[in-house]
Amino acid sequence: MKLLVVSDPHWAGPAEQVRRGYESRAIPHPLQRALAAAWRRGFWLADPLAHNDKLERIIALNPAPDLVVANGDYSVDSAFVGLADDACCDSAERCLAALRGAYGERLLAVAGDHELGKHSLFGGVGGPRFESWRRLGSRLSIPAWWQRDLGRYRLISVPSTLVALPAFEAELLPDEAPAWWAERRRVLAEIAAAVASVEVDRRIVLFCHDPTALPFLESLPEVRAKLPRWEATIIGHLHSPAIAGLARLLAGMPPIRGLGSTVRRYSSALHRARAWEAFRVRLCPSPTGAQALKDGGWLTADWDPESPEPIPWRHHRLPW
């Protein structure tokens, strides 16, 4: 069978298209604003609102996979509060409509961090909103997590922001924090039970958008006990294989404070990133990748789920 994985399409619907300059407006300090602009123009992505065509091209190049996993981040999240923002929600609905129109019930969707919201780069604006969590199911029809057995494998998805909620604690609205923590306890208990139930002859493939969640998953005894059965963990979030490689090099670095909550969160995640190795992490890049490298694309695997051989993942590069 053929498995297709796409991640981080960051579709911009009409209501987000009119928000050009949204990131700079959210950064009050001139020096930080200049650094963010230089990062975007020089390396990352000069215009994050201009790349809907990349997902359309991936769909056209993959007309008949047997199963498709979309690994999160369906909108640009230009208000930084996830699906609670109507414009973001509309973008995500349009993105998923394109995927579901092409693949129907063959599509399994995973929650990304931009579905729920997070602080802007340097600016500290926005953050997770519980209404975004509600809309994940009610508007996007994405479950909190899912599992699917295929031959000798069990595929499992997790909502990375919820699993890594301690890393986002400072970004939560105080009156919403109890609901977030209660939901995290419920979902983690369900995921732990699902992992514990994996039979001894099955291997696990995990879909986790943001690898920040992996050290928190490792803290679950049920997960630690099954790590020898781990085939792969497919992440998104990092967009570029170059960034994923740099993250591996920086694993264990001390957290950086004083440059805003986003930099603190990223550096704290890298501080604990040595846990990624046990999960056999593999990046599905964004369709664009980093603009300076044009290293984006998608993943496929053509394999027999009954075979004991490792899954032959393949990274396809998307020129632009």
Which domains are assigned to the chain?
A: 2-317 (3.60.21)
Per-residue pLDDT of the chain (320 residues; tens, 9 = 90+): 999 999 999 999 999 999 999 999 998 888 888 988 999 999 999 999 999 999 999 999 999 999 999 999 999 999 999 999 999 999 999 999 999 999 999 999 999 999 999 999 877 899 999 999 999 999 999 999 999 999 999 999 999 999 999 999 999 999 999 999 999 999 999 999 999 999 999 999 999 999 999 999 999 999 999 999 999 999 999 999 999 999 988 888 787 776 666 666 777 778 788 889 999 999 999 999 999 999 999 999 999 999 999 999 999 999 99
E-state strands within 151-274: 153-158, 203-208, 230-235
* Strand pairing report for 67-70 and 2-6: parallel
DSSP string, 59-108: HHH-S--SEEEE-S--B--TTSSGGGSHHHHHHHHHHHHHHHHHHGGGEE
SS3 sequence of 217-241: HHCCHHHHHHHHHEEEEEECCCCCH
> Could you give the angle at which helices 177-196 and 130-138 cross, rounded to 10 degrees?
50
- Number of other CB atoms surrounding residue 41 within 10 Å: 13
| Closest residue by Cα to residue 9 from 83, 67, 59, 84 | 59
Tokens representing residue 42 in the block = 């020089």
Which neighbouring-strand residues pair with 302? 2
Distances, alpha carbon 113 to alpha carbons 162, 187, 268, 306, in Å: 9, 16, 16, 33
